[in-house]
Structure 1
């Protein structure tokens, strides 16, 4: 059984070059799809307390509303990427939009926590597809050398969804009800579907395919068990409990079987392990995991810091994110355009990671009393670093990857970054909770001593203890002055501590980036190995059916000994 790269006909997509205007038209639909995927998580963040209360849920249900989407999104990302190497990318993006819309409709009409959690899992399937496929489609439209000029648009969408989501969500909850947090994305999803139908014209290579059902099942199962462990560990069960060890052991066994199937038995594996023979892919994947831990694991708690340590409203806390997102937006645009002009990219990757380290280091010094303008400045520094790093890691991998493997390779980077983020969010969240509890334990005895002299302080302390007994986190604006100061100080110090814990992961990612070898950005969509096979005299045996206004070009067939790459022709999808 052959394990060579499953090569598509030689120039099915490479020969069809799109003009800048055509790329922008197609990109508009992709950006709308990406926006609705990102908005699905940010718009509901401020509404969750109200939703859980209306549906009579508890803290466990609150956690699972978040975990359900995260789990299905992360676990299915590599599967969506592999499907993009086998089927119509346009059809897959539209399918992901439909799945997301179905999940949103069910969530909006949910009348129980179980129904809402199931709907969020369906949403996650669609979000996973959109997250994986947008990068793959862009890689099919433009060459690596040209790709940088478009990365700024992705940064703009990220900024818009991050800033507008909490604001829109808060407004909808206060006016028409939390259900519209799920319905609000539907018009955007429909518009994205229509725009893609009209503007995205990619030729589709039809060939014999071998879907790795067993590998996909094992990957989803193993990752799901792992994410359940990292998401609920330290909350629903102790990290060192028997249940915790059982989940880890089960995840290791299932993922071990997945590696065996992918390496030995799958004709076209979901995650081709041969991709990791390339040093750039291996190092970029490891760096993505570490960046996920450092970035997502720490920055996700900044909103909690602004609300619990600084007494801000959810809306004001959302506005503070403009600092980091603005830095990311500017950096991604500037670095992308310069890379497209010069073709030099590693210095931006190294410089970006160095700036990330500086930003995380500065944020490790924050507390409840630091000036807000300094916190905003530190967030902007981190955003500048992330803008020059995240997209360029994907670019480095895509530049070294054959077009036939583009979907799998791109989704692998996104998958491991999401996996690292999930682990970071859980682990650093446990550290945050432990540190807050420790600080309160240290400060409460002194406050209790004052309470014996002042009945008003005693009343404040009794009220605080009764409200936090069930593990809930009170709004500091509702606390008495003395207790509020202690509470805000505990959260401020703990937030700085988790950035300090995240710092070594950023340093390790920087070391990985240093060892990535800079390869000149290719000016063709196809890899040089694919082009070499085309010019070696491979006989044409398939045709590209014209799609929209694109021309039809003859494409080469594959060597007969590569049974998994047999071409049958090309048909539009």
Structure 2
């Protein structure tokens, strides 16, 4: 060990308290990073190929949206469940299990013969991805302190950036060379390698050993309420469905609201809630949650609809579409790595977070001004600004929450932030997709005369083009005659710009939320170190510091009233003494 320490300063400690060098930490994180890449890849690799996939499977704009939303929804509703399981069971086993679920879902999705089948298997993919997304953040907190975590959070942000926007490039290349089904097979070997790496390199203690209780009813209510809201958003106002202001809408929203209200009541009363409601008493957690929702809208909405814009408004192929969105991934990659290093070096995070939120808000507003023939240099600048902002804010929201919550709530708190980010992305994609579909119909209606004239000039071939456009399925724009293609490209260009302009004001909320987050100093202890320093005894099983304090007050009061010897009540609060206890007090009493 002494030789290792001379080569690299200690970066963290193992559960046994042995110093880990930077190299050893990277080895332990290799499987986590690969698992995270697999999760993000699953959500984004098909984005550039979706126009072709949906066209081949005879799907419409609603199907297009739900192929994406189904995965995000499954990821969203399963993330807090995985997080709670992480507080109760072996985290290494759980993350390997989530990888297995993902592999099965990915392989089956590649055999889909219609959009319904594809959506179903994408749900299974999302369940696995939820575990990967949540557990990787939780395990990171187990072995690295908040102060040191910034440099490694940069790596996670970089991996997420590459997966988020680099995934579409990979998907485009696969679609153009091997066929779109390979989009679902590509993640399988990565997942298998990640399982093997985790088995070899990751060393964590076994479960907590305490009696476990899983809130199944709360999980069902959360999943049901969120799912019903998203189904309503996707279908309302669409051709052949129901209107926004209708009895169907009222019933769906009413049932969803009752389910979510019921979920809150259940979470307040069960022993082991999926999302502990007491976390919202913490200002950092509350405002980080709000910011996570809006960041999710930007991250997922941009990656999905920018790809659609490139193909349907600019006539790009799937591969070209991936290449054209590279400015965004470069912004995410660079900012997440650089800012992560700066946070670890100086221990300051707020100035970077505020600047990042301003950057991605500006990017959203600017993307709302584009059209089908916008100069690409300008478009690249807009995407780059958006990428910088998302890269800075996204991962560090998890970092600042992990810095202040009790170590016993680490899993639930980390997963909850990820849950709300995924929820924001799911709602964002659903709402933006619904608005896009409605806007396309409106704009085509405005251009009916020009479109009919262009079709009429095609002669006998015009009937086939007209039938394809009237079918309701997403057209293969590149295959349309030029006179018709220009009209359709202008429609989709204006429609995509419209949804970014609608979403941009939501991004302003991120700036406000980040400003309101308390500027807490980053700690220097890992979750495992903080847990080791906590008092051992009956109060160690209580989930919150507030409950521990209340029990202590009762015990001391009883002793002072003469109900028992004073020394019988003192040991539970006096066991942890010395500098270690004093150093940990600020981290636990927030």
TM-score with structure 2 setting the length: 0.82
Separation in 1, partners of 2:112, 2:460: 40
CA contact (8 A) 1:428 1:498 kept: yes
Shift of 1:460: 7.8
Instruction: Report the equivalent of 1:549.
Output: none
Farther-moved stretch of structure 1 (87-96 vs 157-166)? 157-166
What residue is the counterpart of 1:553 in the other structure?
Answer: none
Q: After TM superposition, list the pairs within 5 Å mapping 1:364-443 onto structure 2.
A: 364-443=368-447
1:32 is the counterpart of 2:34: yes
Q: Which residue of 1 aligns with 2:294?
A: 290
1:340 CA displacement: 0.3
1:88-487 alignment, distance < 5 Å: 88-110=90-112, 115-173=117-175, 176-204=178-206, 205-235=208-238, 236-264=241-269, 266-446=270-450, 448=452, 456=457, 464-487=465-488
What secondary structure is seen at the aligned counterpart in 2 of 1:327? Answer: helix
Distance 1:75 1:17 in 2: 37
CA deviations on 1:192-244 (whole Å, 9 max, x unpaired) are 11110111001133222222222222222222222322333344443333322
Deviates more, 1:203-212 or 1:337-346: 203-212
Number of residue pairs matched by the alignment: 531
Cα deviation for residue 350 of structure 1 reads 0.6
* Most deviating of 503-512 and 47-56: 47-56
Assess, with a 3 A threshold, how the Cα gap between structure 1 residues 444 and 189 changes in structure 2: closer, same or farther.
Answer: same
Match of 1:79 among 78, 81, 90: 81
Paired with 2:163 and 2:382, the residues of 1 have a C-alpha distance of: 21
Deviation at residue 123 of structure 1 after TM alignment: 1.5
In the superposition, relative to structure 1, how do residues 113 and 516 fare at CA in structure 2: closer, same or farther (>3 Å)?
closer
**TM-superposed deviation, 1:182:** 2.7
Show CA shifts across 1:364-422 (max 9, x none): 22112221111011101111111111111111111111111111111111111111112
Taking a change above 3 Å as real, the CA distance of residues 378 and 60 of structure 1, as seen in their structure-2 partners, is closer
What pairs up with 1:549-560 in 2 under 5 angstroms?
none
TM-score (normalised: structure 1): 0.84
After superposition, the Cα gap between the structure-2 partners of 1:41 and 1:447, relative to the gap in structure 1 and judged at 3 Å, is closer
Q: Is the 8 A contact 2:111 2:181 kept in 1?
A: yes
CA deviation map 1:331-350 (0-9, x unaligned): 01111101001111011111
Alignment of 1:490 onto 2:491: yes
Q: Would the alpha carbon gap of residues 323 and 157 (structure 1) be closer, same or farther in structure 2, given more than 3 Å must change? A: same
Is the Cα–Cα contact under 8 Å of residues 291 and 505 in structure 1 kept in the other structure?
no
- Aligned partners of 1:394, 1:221: CA distance in 2, in Å? 26
Report if aligned partners of 1:402, 1:527 keep a CA contact under 8 Å in 2. no
Mapped to 2, the partners of 1:223 and 1:125 lie a distance apart of 15
> Secondary structure in 1 aligned to 2:46?
helix
Post-superposition Cα deviations, 1:440-485, rounded to whole Å, max 9, x if no partner, equal 322332565x66xx95267787555322212223233333333322
Q: 2:46 matched to which residue of 1?
A: 44
Q: Are the counterparts in 2 of residues 163 and 319 from structure 1 also a CA contact under 8 Å?
A: no
User: How far has the Cα of 1:524 moved from its partner?
Assistant: 0.9
Gaps of 5+ in 2: 1-12, 541-547, 553-571, 573-590
Give the distance between the partners of 2:490 and 2:112, measured in 1 at CA.
38
Looking at secondary structure, tell me which structure has more helix per residue. 2
Per the TM alignment, residue 175 of structure 1 is displaced from its structure 2 partner at its CA by 5.2
Structure 1 381/66 Cα, relative in aligned 2: closer, same or farther at 3 Å?
A: closer
Deviations 1:89-134 (A, max 9, x none): 1111001011112222333445665554433222211111111111
Note closer, same or farther for the CA distance 1:164–1:365 as it changes in structure 2 (3 Å cut). closer
Preserved CA contact (<8 Å) 2:86 2:411: yes
Distance change in 2, residues 1:479/1:460 (3 Å)? farther
Secondary structure of the 2:209 match is: strand
**What secondary structure is seen at the aligned counterpart in 1 of 2:521?**
coil
Provide the alpha-carbon RMSD of the alignment.
Answer: 3.1
Higher relative contact order (CA 8 A, sep 6+): 1
Residue 5 (structure 2) aligns with: none
